[in-house]
Amino acid sequence: MSVDGRGAAPAFVGAGRDAASSPVPGAAPTDLDDLRVALDDRLLTDPASLAAYAVDSSRAQPEGLPIAVVRAASTDDVSTALAWAHARGIRVSVRGAGTGLSGGAVAYAGGLVISLEAMNRILDIDVDNRLADVEAGVITADLDAAALAHGLFFPPDPASARWSTIGGNIATNAGGLRCVAHGVTTDVVAALEVVLADGRVLRTGARTRKNTTGYDLTSLFTGSEGTLGVITAATVRLKPVPPGQPRTFRASFDDIEDAGRAVTAIVSGPAAPEVLELIDARSVEIIEAFHPSGLPSPGAAMLVGQTVGLAAHETAEAIGEICRAHRAAETEISDSDSLLEARRLANPALTAQGLRVSCDVGVPVAALATVFRGIGEIAERHGRRIAVVAHAGDGNLHPTVEAGDTPDEYAAAELVIDDITRLALSLGGTISGEHGIGSVKRHELPWQQDATALDVQRAIKAALDPRGILTPGRAI
């Protein structure tokens, strides 16, 4: 880990570095002159760009337009932008592809947006050590495809893999469909390049399989949602592609609680799937309306998943037996990925229907049947339909509340989400499994973390970002 000379913060003469101890609402347009000289056409100030970069894929709305957008092409660009913002106390929001669902990338009025989408180079695939060196703006699926050319793959597999970036995944500690077998993003991050709030560049971690040198700063920045520094590059671990032909399996259930009990039995047994997802009947209906593909009737819900390796078919058969033992109405094994592709369309389909009031709770896998029953009771109590998709194998659920496009409807749906979140916590769960906290879930933090935990995180934030310019009011 090092802070090197190349990453020294640029000095802006007369910027008033110590003029304020906390962020100010914005900067005067003339303050952009130094930044424009340094960044040239990578600094955007036209109204269309400001509006486009002010929002992400969440339901959070910006308080106003930013003063400028930096489309960084290098770590030096990010360092320059942060040193400029730090000197003036300007609030900064950071974004990759803008696919986040928790409001973490929404702009601040008069603030600065740093976009990493142009930093999209795969720098190296180290086959011998099964590592990839990438810039933060690399699209997840592009890294997976590049690794596949060498018989390797990138394990984290968010449903947004075709659009999301590696930097965004690391910032939120994203999960995905393959998490039941391979874990989440933090499990594959070996090293990071991070620009600190004042523009200095920090490098963490190592290329080795083991590393116990100093504090684990790599893990600290993973999942920090841009509040501690801006991740500009990473070294991530790859895995070899399993031999044999993958098998996709499906099991339909007339009772969603039976599906939950089947998942618990699968995960606690020897038949290990690489993917194990749940899609309820309402979600199937919405996905089919969005992209007709002839999905079979799920009953109340269906489990879909994939097995890999030389024993993939036998493993899928064993999972089918478990599902039938838990009252599955129908089971099927195939070589097609169509069911998994349909699962990946769930969020775009729900969004196209105007359904954006969703959550990201997690529960212990053994509590799945209970949480499904509780969600049904909450829906009945509030008189709202709730569509549920889930990374069932690791207990991560994404319930989405149906609501009209008015403030009152959104407020009513938020109350439903709050009830679902409290239900998950009562079962030993979490308010966020993979999407992060952002601004959307920040009010829920005290429900899960006590005052001491919050104080410790605020102290870390204050040490690394004393002026509080990096995504203030989010994550913690």
Where in the chain are the domains? Answer: 2-118, 122-240, 247-426
Rounded CA-CA distance 96/392 in Å is: 27
**What are the DSSP calls for 146-197, one per residue?**
HHHTTTEE-S---TTTTT-BHHHHHHHT---TTHHHH--GGGTEEEEEEE-T
Q: What tens digit of pLDDT does each residue of 59-100 get?
A: 888 999 999 999 999 999 999 999 999 999 999 999 999 988
pLDDT for residue 451? 98
Q: What percent of the chain has pLDDT over 90?
A: 83
pLDDT for residue 101? 86
pLDDT for residue 185? 97
Predicted confidence (pLDDT) at residue 8 exceeds the cutoff of 70: no
DSSP-assigned beta bridge partners for residue 93: 113
Predicted confidence (pLDDT) at residue 149 exceeds the cutoff of 90: yes
pLDDT for residue 22? 43
* CA-closest candidate to residue 71, choices 48, 45, 90, 51: 45
pLDDT for residue 75? 99
Range of weakest confidence among 12-21, 112-121, 189-198, 299-308: 12-21
pLDDT for residue 59? 82
Place of tokens 């999407």: 435
pLDDT for residue 357? 86
Fold of 122-240: 3.30.465
Give the rounded distance of the alpha carbon of 170 from its chain centre.
Answer: 8
Q: What tens digit of pLDDT does each residue of 305-359 get?
A: 999 999 999 999 999 999 999 999 999 999 988 889 999 999 889 888 877 689 9
Q: Which CATH architecture has domain 247-426?
A: 3-Layer(aba) Sandwich (3.40)
**Band of pLDDT at residue 16, cut at 50, 70 and 90:** very low
Predicted confidence (pLDDT) at residue 379 exceeds the cutoff of 70: yes
Contact indicator for 170, 235 with CB cutoff of 8 Å: no
Q: What percent of the chain has pLDDT over 70?
A: 93
Token code pair at residue 410: 């959104």
Token code pair at residue 195: 């620009």
Place of tokens 């879909």: 304
Predicted confidence (pLDDT) at residue 112 exceeds the cutoff of 50: yes
Range of weakest confidence among 400-404, 441-445, 448-452: 400-404
Contact indicator for 115, 78 with CB cutoff of 8 Å: no
- Distinct helix (H) and strand (E) counts, the chain: 16, 19
Average pLDDT, the chain: 92
**Band of pLDDT at residue 453, cut at 50, 70 and 90:** very high
Q: What tens digit of pLDDT does each residue of 27-61 get?
A: 555 589 999 999 999 999 999 999 999 999 888 88
Give the global pTM.
Answer: 0.91
Element containing residue 65 per DSSP (H, E): none
Range of weakest confidence among 48-62, 106-120, 247-261, 448-462: 48-62
pLDDT for residue 28? 58
Average pLDDT (117-122) is: 98
Fold of 2-118: 3.30.43
Predicted confidence (pLDDT) at residue 144 exceeds the cutoff of 70: yes
Average pLDDT (219-228) is: 98
